[in-house]
């Protein structure tokens, strides 16, 4: 898909670039979403740049993600995708500033892009640098919202954990905390990646030559740094809650084991008495005694009560 935003337009236009395609002077943003190889080649030919491949976008080396080439500035960041689904993940997105316009290359739908697209149509972005910073602003806002939503879920889980639920209720809590930990870690990785991108973006002529863009960039850097620290604290809090939940599970399990251990010990002496009088020897005087059976029952009851009294005295019950 090839979305194009032009100055003064109230909507994106969907175009399919082919041989000989050229962007007109009013184009501010070209958004390539899951482009075909033919679309990539058409954009490369029109702008005189080599767009990174999907494999190059996924590379971890800074030299493969942040570089300037042929008068263009290439910046790739890993952004959080599908944060409210069961399997969130990070996806690389490339931002290119070249010839007065911005090109984005991505392979996943991202909420920040959808939000910024509607906002850009209202604010009428007039330059590629403004569009880039506005889009990155939406990305940072989206990550902040994800961390905020995750934080509320973590607080709910914290309250439930320390209300001492029954052991059977720990499974959904552990699942919720594991999901929160995953989202928080991915959000933090995205913030770190965006922070590196922002530092490199300051070198782009389109931003370095404009005071307003430099000021906006510094604000974004401060926000990103603050959110990165917040995500670290939140991740540590989730780790603490996971440890606390595991500790409570161990306590519950120990209580169950303790109960069965006490029951086993309590019934051992009566079982011993019953075993003794269950032996089939000819010479057992108690077998022919009138009070033999009641005596055996009393001995079994006393043998069971004595361990219970001992456990209570020791504070084990």
Selected residue with higher pLDDT from 312 and 95 = 95
SS (H, E, C) the chain: CEEEEECCCCCCEECCCCCCCCCCCCEEEEEEECCCHHHHHHHHHHHCCCCCCHHHHCCCCHHHHEEEECCEEEEEEEEEECCCCCCCEEEEEEEEEECCEEEEEECCCCHHHHHHHHHHHHHCCCCHHHHHHHHHHHHHHHHHHHHHHHHHHHHHHHHHHHCCCCHHHHHHHHHHHHHHHHHHHHHHHHHHHHHHHHHHHCCCHHHHCCHHHHHHHHHHHHHHHHHHHHHHHHHHHHHHHHHHHHHHHHHHHHHHHHHHHHHHHHHHHHHHHHHHCCCCCCCCHHHHCCCHHHHHHHHHHHHHHHHHHHHHHHCCC
Comparison of pLDDT for 3 and 104, the residue scoring more = 104
Give the pLDDT band (50/70/90) at residue 1: low
Across 72-81, 173-182, 228-237, 283-292, least confident range: 283-292
Could you report the per-residue pLDDT of 21-49, keeping only the tens digit for each? 788 777 888 999 998 888 888 889 989 99
Q: Residue 208: is its pLDDT beyond 60?
A: yes
pLDDT (0 to 100) of residue 91: 95
Class of domain 252-314: mainly alpha
Tokens of 215: 């000021």
Domain boundary assignment for the chain = 2-251, 252-314
Band (pLDDT 50/70/90 cuts) for residue 286 is confident
What is the chain's mean pLDDT, rounded?
Answer: 85
pLDDT category at 239 given cuts 50, 70, 90 is very high
User: What pLDDT, on the 0 to 100 scale, is given for residue 166?
Assistant: 58
Give percent above pLDDT 90 in the chain.
38
* Cβ–Cβ under 8 Å, residues 196 and 77: yes
Asked if 157 contacts 177 with a C-beta cutoff of 8 angstroms, the reply is yes
Residue 2 has pLDDT above 80, yes or no: no
CA 81 to chain centre: 10
Q: Lowest mean pLDDT of 155-169, 221-235, 301-315, name the range.
A: 155-169
Query: What pLDDT score was predicted for residue 15?
Result: 65
What is the rounded CA–CA span in Å between residue 128 and residue 150? 33
Confidence of residue 164 (pLDDT cuts 50, 70, 90): low
Question: What's the pLDDT band for 120 if we cut at 50, 70, 90?
Answer: low
CATH number of 2-251: 3.30.460.20
d(CA 292, CA 68): 101
Side-chain-side CA neighbours of residue 47 (13 Å): 28
pTM of the model: 0.79
């Amino acid at each position: 898909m090839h979305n194009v935003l032009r100055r003064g337009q109230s909507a994106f236009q969907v175009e399919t670039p082919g041989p000989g395609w050229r962007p007109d002077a009013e184009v501010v943003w070209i958004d390539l979403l899951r482009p075909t190889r033919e679309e990539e080649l058409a954009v490369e030919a029109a702008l005189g740049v080599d767009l990174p491949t999907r494999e190059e976008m996924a590379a971890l080396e800074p030299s493969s993600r942040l570089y300037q080439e042929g008068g263009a500035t290439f910046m790739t960041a890993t952004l959080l995708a599908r944060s409210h689904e069961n399997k969130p993940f990070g996806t690389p997105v490339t931002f290119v500033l070249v010839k007065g316009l911005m090109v984005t290359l991505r392979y996943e739908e991202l909420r920040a892009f959808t939000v910024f697209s509607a906002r850009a149509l209202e604010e009428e972005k007039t330059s590629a640098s403004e569009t880039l910073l506005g889009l990155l602003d939406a990305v940072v806002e989206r990550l902040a919202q994800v961390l905020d939503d995750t934080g509320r879920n973590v607080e709910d889980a914290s309250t439930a954990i320390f209300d001492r639920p029954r052991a059977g209720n720990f499974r959904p809590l552990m699942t919720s905390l594991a999901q929160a930990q995953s989202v928080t870690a991915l959000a933090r990785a995205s913030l770190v990646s965006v922070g590196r991108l922002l530092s490199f973006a300051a070198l782009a002529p389109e931003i370095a030559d404009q005071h307003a863009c430099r000021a906006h960039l510094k604000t974004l850097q401060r926000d990103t740094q603050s959110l990165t620290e917040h995500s670290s604290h939140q991740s540590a809090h989730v780790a603490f809650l996971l440890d606390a939940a595991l500790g409570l599970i161990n306590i519950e399990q120990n209580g169950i084991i303790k109960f069965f251990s006490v029951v086993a010990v309590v019934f051992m002496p009566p079982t011993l008495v019953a075993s003794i009088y269950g032996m089939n020897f000819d010479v057992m005087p108690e077998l022919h005694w009138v009070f033999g059976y009641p005596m055996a029952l009393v001995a079994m009851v006393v043998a069971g009560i004595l361990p219970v009294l001992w456990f209570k005295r020791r504070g084990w019950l």
